[in-house]
Amino acid sequence: MNLTRREFGRIAGAGIAAQLASPLRAQQPTGQNGSGKVGYCIVGLGRISMGEFMPGVLQSPNSHITALVSGHRDKALRVASQYGVPTSSIYSYEEYDKIRDNPAIDAVYIALPNSMHAEYTIRAAKAGKHVLSEKPMATSVEDCKKMIQACRDANKKLMIAYRCQYEATNLRAVQLIRDGKLGKVQSIEAAFGFNIGHNEWRTNRKLSGGGPMVDVGIYCLNATRYLTGEEPTDLRGYSSVIDHDGRFNDVEESLSWSMKFPSGILANCETTYGAGMDGFFRVYGSEGNINVDPAFNYNGLHLRAQYGGFRNGTRIDEPNTSRGPYQFTNEANHFSDCVLNNKTPKTPGEEGLRDMALITRLYSTCGEHLGTT
């Protein structure tokens, strides 16, 4: 199922109406005590939570939204009425620790600026809640380790929201490679970037931890790891700033890097905040290749592949117009399943830690450094 934003809004609207039609739903017993649905507290009402994750949850059979944390009471009241969340389950950031006393909250979804993920994860674990945190996991390896430890100590699940690992076209590419269709993979190219505006928290190192590398370059890094199933042993990069217009006083504008994997696979990737750069990856093997472009968008992904010889081989051209469910719904389904059935998430804290350790190393090769909290 590939939905345009308009179609998705219509379906999401129907879902919201369904929640509103049964106002008691948000107060019903939660996943922890028997409804079969995990109740999520949304922490941060920004672009990703309101635009993608919350509509995605509406389509999930085992997830629902039961609480909100926001610094803007008016916005929170509006969103709460849309999603059938009782006003008693709206919290300010100052009141965050009170989520401990709300049995309708099983898990938190953290969609705050990067450097805040660690603190809000650790406080959630201490409040007895499972945690789904947005990427990048944090802004330092130390914080990633503290997040993992806090969730372990509280016996709570921790998952990092690497949505592409729950997305059908990316999974199809992985399967073609695992099935040996490309023969021996030799090299990968990947890129993802965009032209950022002024006055964004993303260019403030204290809040972001770094530039486009931690924000969107991380999709390329993570993709090379799930496509190969290997961990890079060597990596090095170049970073630069071209636009001296105040946006990049604190973080890199662009970063290009190369990696080598244990089997010998080489990868070349790039990311930028200085130009539109639709995310893509290309995988070249001895028997064929895959081109996914776009690869990291919310909708409209497109896979092309050819393998088994140019004359009699196979050619695939798959726009994902019929692929579903929506990747954010898959992500919520998966985490809720882990919570309900005591499973380990496919992208646990350790997955976020690995990327953070690699980015720290990569930054050191080009004179950049990750911010700390």
Query: Catalytic amino acids?
Result: 135, 219
Nearest-approach distance from CB 233 to ligand NAD, in angstroms? 27
- Shorter beta-carbon distance to ligand NAD: residue 215 or 355: 215
Asked whether position 215 contacts ligand NAD by CB under 6 A, the answer is yes
Phi, then psi, of 285 in degrees rounded to 5: -125, 170
Residue 38: beta bridge partners? 63
Asked whether position 48 contacts ligand NAD by CB under 6 A, the answer is yes
- Shorter beta-carbon distance to ligand NAD: residue 43 or 104: 43
Phi, then psi, of 274 in degrees rounded to 5: -110, 0
Give the per-residue contact string, 61-100, with ligand NAD (x = CB under 6 A; - = no).
----------x-----------------------------
Q: Which residues contact 220 (CB under 8 A, 6 or more apart)?
A: 190, 191, 192, 269, 270, 271, 279, 281
Nearest-approach distance from CB 46 to ligand NAD, in angstroms? 2
Asked whether position 161 contacts ligand NAD by CB under 6 A, the answer is yes
- Shorter beta-carbon distance to ligand NAD: residue 3 or 176: 3
Indicate which single residue of 31, 84, 113, 212 sits in contact with ligand NAD (rule: CB under 6 A).
113
Question: What is the C-alpha to C-alpha distance for residues 88 and 67, in angstroms, rounded to an integer?
Answer: 9
The piece of 106-114, 232-240, 268-276, 309-317 that touches ligand NAD (CB under 6 A) is 106-114
- Shorter beta-carbon distance to ligand NAD: residue 169 or 289: 169
Q: Which residues contact 327 (CB under 8 A, 6 or more apart)?
A: 56, 163, 164, 166, 167, 168, 298
Phi, then psi, of 284 in degrees rounded to 5: -110, 125
Asked whether position 114 contacts ligand NAD by CB under 6 A, the answer is yes
Indicate which single residue of 6, 47, 198, 244 sits in contact with ligand NAD (rule: CB under 6 A).
47
- Shorter beta-carbon distance to ligand NAD: residue 130 or 181: 130
Question: What is the C-alpha to C-alpha distance for residues 63 and 38, in angstroms, rounded to an integer?
Answer: 5
Tokens matching residue 313: 């081989």
Indicate which single residue of 57, 112, 151, 359 sits in contact with ligand NAD (rule: CB under 6 A).
112
Indicate which single residue of 2, 11, 27, 46 sits in contact with ligand NAD (rule: CB under 6 A).
46
Asked whether position 163 contacts ligand NAD by CB under 6 A, the answer is yes
Phi, then psi, of 132 in degrees rounded to 5: -110, 110
Using CB under 6 A, which residues numbered 124 to 153 contact ligand NAD? 134-135
Please provide the size of the chain in residues: 373
Tokens matching residue 340: 């309900």
Nearest-approach distance from CB 76 to ligand NAD, in angstroms? 10
274 neighbors 253 (Cβ within 8 angstroms): yes
Q: Tell me the torsion sign for CA atoms 162, 164, 167, 170.
A: negative
Question: What is the C-alpha to C-alpha distance for residues 241 and 239, in angstroms, rounded to an integer?
Answer: 7
- Shorter beta-carbon distance to ligand NAD: residue 141 or 265: 141
The piece of 44-52, 225-233, 241-249, 309-317 that touches ligand NAD (CB under 6 A) is 44-52
User: Half-sphere exposure of 316 toward its Cβ, with a 13 Å CA cutoff?
Assistant: 21
Nearest-approach distance from CB 36 to ligand NAD, in angstroms? 26
Helices (H) and strands (E) in the chain, counts: 12, 14
In terms of Cα–Cα distance, which of 185, 184, 46 is closest to 109? 46
The piece of 18-26, 38-46, 57-65, 334-342 that touches ligand NAD (CB under 6 A) is 38-46
Asked whether position 311 contacts ligand NAD by CB under 6 A, the answer is no
- Shorter beta-carbon distance to ligand NAD: residue 143 or 215: 215
190 neighbors 281 (Cβ within 8 angstroms): yes
Question: Tokens 């959630």 correspond to what residue?
Answer: 124
Nearest-approach distance from CB 47 to ligand NAD, in angstroms? 4
Closest CB to ligand NAD belongs to which residue?
Answer: 46
Q: How many CB atoms lie within 10 A of CB 311?
A: 5
Asked whether position 221 contacts ligand NAD by CB under 6 A, the answer is no
Q: Residues in the site for ligand NAD, rule: CB under 6 A?
A: 44-48, 71, 111-114, 134-135, 161, 163, 201, 207, 215
